[in-house]
């Protein structure tokens, strides 16, 4: 009898919690995007002494780090109103995707009334999109959609099966055509999920293709961390704290074995296996990988994109001299030819000086490139812009 009573109590408790989840949720998603494109944040915290909101919609400040001066998102104080509801309204915001979180009495807090979040390294943040202009590319529109798949491939060079994300364009499954490929590489702290979640790659490709601004293409987003087979929680190591720099980061092994990715794609998908139909691009660490992969395998990629790229090589542990003779291999890459070598960076990026020095190196050897410089620093806002501008340049034969 006691067991039945206990079961009844647990059942009632579970049902009460379920009802609270189902019926206790707020009626309106926050933050509220106003008609004038200001945004109002609210948080009910009646016992809090201080509530703040932080995000890229506020002016950045500079903070010191081992890598140099980094941009830190601004912080705004919220005002306490009736029923313990704190609020803050921004100035008019440009169309974009914005991450944010609250700080309650010094403690980082997610927005309990916003169901949508993103993982950036180990931090989960909420986000919202101010529509119009550029951000319309980042939203799901009523257009034909491509297919996103997670695939495992064998990397003999790294000695493990590894995971990648791959986008195939609308109509791929019903077509017999062969397609070009963009290999898109993430930065430090990222993985095969970063360009999907933070970069909005699928939405950008769907919308650009639908507008006729980009050729239908595959986009391959591999994991660039040598010691991972997949993103934390998605691979054989199970659940663990993501870190900014993993073991064997940027030591040449990834670049030396990158053709394992290319071979998998060209063996399993209908693609054009030639230089004119291959592009490679990446942000930060992914830009570093892109620069070294493209010069270590000259004549392989016709389109190269360096987005806020880390440049200076580290200790080479590849065993094949991936970082040897930088000028000589760049000259070989130039001699074998390519159609576009694209570099982009924000004017306040902590990697600005090293990119400036790398451009001087390219100028000295006469290597052609296109250069884009805009505002802001080392942030996803810029990398979504660079991807949106780079993709329409590809495969325009």
Confidence of residue 5 (pLDDT cuts 50, 70, 90): very low
CA nearest neighbour of 163 among 13, 71, 54, 264: 264
Torsions phi, psi for 41 (to 5 deg): -100, 140
pTM of the model: 0.89
pLDDT digits over 45-80, tens only?
999 999 999 998 998 776 666 556 667 789 999 999
CA nearest neighbour of 203 among 133, 282, 140, 127: 140
- Residues paired with residue 117 on neighbouring β-strands, in sequence order: 126
Confidence of residue 346 (pLDDT cuts 50, 70, 90): very high
* Residue whose structure tokens are 């074998």: 336
Measure CA 4 to chain center: 51
CA–CA gap between residue 261 and residue 320 (Å, rounded): 18
Q: Over 90: is that where the pLDDT of 10 sits? A: no
pLDDT digits over 225-245, tens only?
998 887 888 888 888 778 877
CA nearest neighbour of 186 among 231, 138, 239: 231
pLDDT for the residue 35: 95
DSSP E strands in 321-393: the ranges are 340-346, 370-374
Q: Over 50: is that where the pLDDT of 174 sits? A: yes
Letter string b/e over residues 334-345, b meaning 16 or more CB atoms within 10 A of that residue's CB: beeebbbbbbbb
CA dihedral sign, ordered 100, 104, 105, 106? negative
pLDDT for the residue 26: 52
| Phi-psi group of 9: left, alpha or beta (phi > 0 → left; psi -120 to 50 → alpha; rest → beta) | alpha
pLDDT digits over 31-52, tens only?
999 999 999 999 999 999 999 9
pLDDT for the residue 68: 60
Alpha carbon separation from 2 to 9, 13, 14 (Å, rounded):
11, 16, 18
pLDDT for the residue 119: 86
168: part of which helix (H) or strand (E)?
Answer: strand 160-168
Q: What percent of the chain has pLDDT over 70?
A: 90
Confidence of residue 348 (pLDDT cuts 50, 70, 90): very high
Confidence of residue 107 (pLDDT cuts 50, 70, 90): very high
Confidence of residue 376 (pLDDT cuts 50, 70, 90): confident
Contacts of 187 (CB under 8 A, 6+ apart): 194, 282, 283, 284, 285, 286, 287
CA–CA gap between residue 345 and residue 360 (Å, rounded): 15
- Dihedral, CA of residue 208, residue 210, residue 214 and residue 218, to nearest 10: 90
Alpha carbon separation from 228 to 135, 223, 234, 240, 375 (Å, rounded):
32, 8, 10, 12, 33
Confidence of residue 122 (pLDDT cuts 50, 70, 90): confident
Alpha carbon separation from 162 to 31, 151, 155, 284, 294 (Å, rounded):
38, 8, 7, 21, 21
As a whole number, the mean pLDDT across the chain is 90
Q: What are the structural domains of the chain?
A: 24-131 (2.60.40.10), 138-393 (3.40.50.1820)
Q: Over 80: is that where the pLDDT of 171 sits? A: yes
CA–CA gap between residue 221 and residue 345 (Å, rounded): 21
pLDDT digits over 192-215, tens only?
999 999 999 999 999 999 999 999
């Amino acid at each position: 009898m006691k067991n039945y009573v206990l079961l009844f109590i647990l059942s009632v408790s579970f049902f009460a919690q379920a009802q609270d989840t189902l019926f206790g949720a707020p009626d309106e998603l926050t933050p509220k995007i106003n008609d004038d494109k200001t945004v109002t944040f609210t948080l009910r915290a009646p016992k809090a002494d201080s509530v703040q909101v932080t995000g890229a919609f506020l002016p950045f400040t500079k903070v010191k780090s081992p890598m140099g001066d980094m941009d830190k998102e601004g912080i705004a104080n919220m005002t306490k109103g009736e029923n313990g509801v704190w609020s803050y309204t921004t100035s008019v915001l440009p169309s974009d995707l914005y991450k944010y979180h609250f700080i309650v009495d010094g403690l980082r807090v997610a927005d309990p009334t916003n169901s949508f979040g993103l993982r950036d390294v180990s931090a989960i943040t909420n986000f919202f999109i101010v529509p119009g202009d550029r951000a319309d590319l980042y939203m799901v529109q009523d257009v034909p959609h491509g297919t996103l798949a997670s695939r495992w491939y064998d990397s003999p060079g790294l000695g493990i099966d590894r995971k990648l994300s791959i986008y195939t364009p609308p109509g791929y499954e019903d077509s017999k055509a062969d397609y070009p490929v963009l290999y898109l590489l993430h930065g430090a702290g990222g993985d095969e999920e970063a360009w999907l979640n933070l970069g909005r790659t699928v939405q950008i490709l769907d919308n650009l293709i639908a507008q006729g601004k980009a050729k239908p293409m595959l986009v391959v987003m591999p994991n660039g961390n040598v010691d991972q087979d997949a993103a934390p929680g998605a691979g054989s190591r199970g659940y663990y704290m993501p870190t900014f720099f993993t073991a064997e980061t940027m030591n040449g092994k990834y670049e030396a074995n990158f053709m394992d990715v290319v071979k998998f794609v060209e063996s399993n998908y209908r693609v054009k296996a030639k230089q004119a139909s291959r592009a490679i691009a990446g942000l930060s660490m992914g830009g570093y990988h892109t620069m070294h992969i493209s010069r270590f395998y000259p004549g392989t990629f016709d389109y190269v994109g360096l987005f806020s790229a880390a440049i200076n090589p580290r200790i080479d542990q590849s065993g094949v001299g991936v970082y040897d003779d930088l000028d000589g291999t760049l000259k070989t890459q130039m001699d074998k030819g390519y159609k576009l070598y694209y570099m982009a960076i924000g004017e306040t990026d902590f990697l600005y000086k090293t990119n400036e020095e790398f451009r001087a190196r390219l100028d000295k050897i006469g290597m052609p490139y296109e250069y884009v410089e805009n505002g802001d620093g080392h942030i996803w806002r810029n990398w979504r812009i660079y991807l949106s501008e780079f993709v329409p340049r590809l495969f325009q034969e």
